[in-house]
Structure 1
Amino acid sequence: MHISALFALLITTAALAGPAVAKDLDQAQALWLQGKRSQALEAVRQGLADNPNDARLRFAQAVMQMELGRTAEAEAGLVALTQDFPDLADPFNNLAVLYAARGALDPAREALEQAVRLQPDHVQAQENLGDVLLRLAARAYGQALRLSSGDTTALQLKLRHTEALIARAAPAKR
């Protein structure tokens, strides 16, 4: 599954932001690209001290936390963003990535469906939704196999094909 690309995010949001927020995002981007991840996150935190309700800074913080493996913090930030800014697709997409990573496929599907409703041309959300639906299909086929008492040849074939698709897609994760 794919998260929203941080580099593209910072370029886009800096261009749309006011001067103070743009400066904070530009500084964070420069630090991030230099490999100074903790300092980049601190630059965003400083920006949030002055602009605590800025969606771009809050989203950048959550994405950085995801990249740094701070998933609980990232999830809390993304949940808050989906509540405070329910019309933004990217927080739903990234929240779904966290859900799917821990195997919570139903909430991941719901978050991705919301992202796609909000932004039907969101390529990453569409792809992530396909990935989650494949995993849900594999789960359903596996459950059907466990429950079946008859000929399971067709189910076994469907499950093998679905699992093969999932396995081929796995190396492309970012």
Structure 2
Amino acid sequence: MNHAMPVCRFAISAIFALLLSLTFAAPVRANEAADIAQMFRAGQQTEAFARLDKLLVNRTASPELRFLKGVLLVEVRRTSEALVVFQSLTEEFPELPEPYNNLAVLYAASGEFEKARTALEGAIRANPGLAVAYLNLGDVYAQLARQAYQKAQKLDPASSGIPARLSVLRELTESRSQKPAP
């Protein structure tokens, strides 16, 4: 059974549009992030991470670069490191919704739906207009509902309404996993 909410995979090019649109205290030159992304897309992942780490030595407070590092870590499936990056960004920059959203996606992908819900609520507090956070929150609620119905079915296998509800939720969550949120 797949318990994971669909992971929001950002296309590398879309990330840069997002990074450039964010308002941060210490802006990064747009081409620095774009250059690193280009290296990453070209298969030069080691070089991209080395360059990013070098830039972060002098700009440890740069949320754009740290966010980019978190996204790239997700892309190479270094999830535990990405979790640390996004968690620290939510603590140091609670006004930024994107790190909360990415943190929630990672939690949901590992079946930690309560943590995902909490992170998405943080994203919504930071930016009540972030549609993707509401979309992801709906997915998390659907997974939590699915878990609740499964538990109810275990406790009362004779209950007639549970299979239909589970079927609807399965259809909803499986159709969403085919089309991840941008």
**TM-score, structure 1 length as denominator?**
0.88
Which one-letter code corresponds to 1:44 in the other structure? L
User: Displacement, 1:3?
Assistant: 4.5
Where structure 2 has 5 or more consecutive residues not aligned to the other structure, the ranges are: 1-5
Cα offset for 1:28? 0.5
Deviations 1:13-32 (A, max 9, x none): 34767676434212212212
Q: What is the DSSP-based 3-state SS (H/G/I as helix, E as strand, rest coil) of the residue aligned with 1:160? A: helix
- Is residue 83 of structure 2 the alignment partner of residue 75 of structure 1? yes
Query: Which is worse superposed, 79-88 or 155-164?
Result: 155-164
Q: How does 1:62-101 map to 2 (within 5 A)?
A: 62-101=70-109
Whole-angstrom CA distance in 2 between matches of 1:38 and 1:85: 27
Give, in whole Å, the separation in 2 of the partners of 1:11 and 1:136. Answer: 32
Q: Is the 8 A contact 1:3 1:124 kept in 2?
A: no
1:171 aligned residue (147, 160, 178): 178
Q: How does 1:17-96 map to 2 (within 5 A)?
A: 21-96=29-104
| TM-score normalised by the chain length of structure 2 | 0.84
2:111 to 78, 103, 110: 103
Q: Quote the sequence identity (%).
A: 31
Residue 128 of structure 1 aligns with an amino acid whose one-letter code is N
Please provide the CA RMSD for this pair: 2.2
Aligned equivalent of 2:124: 116
Residue 13 of structure 2 corresponds to: 7
Q: 1:138 to 1:19 in 2, by over 3 A?
A: closer
Deviation string for 1:54-102 (max 9, x for gaps)? 0000000011001110001100111111111111100000001111111
Q: Are 2:28 and 2:65, in contact at CA under 8 Å, matched by a contact in 1?
A: no
Q: Pick 1 or 2: higher relative contact order, CA cutoff 8 A, min separation 6.
A: 2
Query: 1:168 deviation in Å?
Result: 1.8
SS of residue in 2 equivalent to 1:153: coil
> Aligned partners of 1:169, 1:11: CA distance in 2, in Å?
24
Match of 1:140 in 2: 148
Question: What runs of 5+ residues in structure 1 fail to find an aligned partner?
Answer: none
